């Protein structure tokens, strides 16, 4: 089972990560297509932001460290949920899905993020 967090809960997730793995920087994995990232993106504050389109993940799995917490992000949360489940099935233990995606991010965390 992969947990789902809302963008408004990200700060709490980051704090939990810091308690469980001090000194380890969590990853927000943006699985949207390049044109989507160009249209709207988030600022990396307290985490590393990685962009990998969903279809590229199986071939690029080696680029994702297994020892760092990963929160998956897409437009509304569907693709990122699929990627989070895939990562979990591949043995990644600390993975969450950001429910509502960047759309909810713009409403809950940063109204400066364009909606599309």
Write the pLDDT tens digit of every residue in 10-34: 999 999 999 999 999 999 999 999 9
105 to each of 10, 21, 109, 112, 114, how far by Cα in Å? 10, 25, 5, 10, 10
Q: What is the pLDDT of residue 94?
A: 96
Q: Is 74 a catalytic site residue? A: yes
- Pick among 3.40.50.2300, 3.40.630.30, 3.40.250.10, 3.40.50.1100: CATH of 4-109: 3.40.250.10
Q: Which residue has the tokens 């429910």?
A: 99
Digit-by-digit pLDDT tens for the chain (116 residues) are 899 999 999 999 999 999 999 999 999 999 999 999 999 999 999 999 999 999 999 999 999 999 999 999 999 999 999 999 999 999 999 999 999 999 999 999 999 999 99
Q: What is the pLDDT of residue 10?
A: 97
Show the tokens assigned to 32: 């949207």
Q: What is the pLDDT of residue 14?
A: 97
Q: What is the pLDDT of residue 40?
A: 97
Q: What is the pLDDT of residue 63?
A: 97
Of 70, 73, 74, 83, which residue is the catalytic one? 74
Domain boundaries in the chain? 4-109
């Amino acid at each position: 089972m992969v947990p789902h967090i809302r963008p408004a809960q990200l700060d709490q997730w980051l704090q939990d990560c810091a308690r469980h793995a001090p000194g380890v920087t969590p990853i927000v994995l943006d699985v949207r297509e390049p044109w989507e990232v160009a249209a709207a993106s988030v600022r990396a504050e307290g985490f590393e932001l990685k962009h990998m389109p969903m279809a590229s993940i199986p071939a690029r799995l080696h680029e994702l460290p297994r020892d760092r917490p990963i929160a998956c992000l897409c437009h509304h949360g569907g693709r990122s949920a699929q990627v989070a489940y895939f990562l979990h099935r591949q043995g990644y233990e600390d993975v969450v899905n950001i429910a509502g995606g960047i759309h909810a991010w713009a409403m809950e965390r940063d109204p400066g993020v364009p909606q599309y």
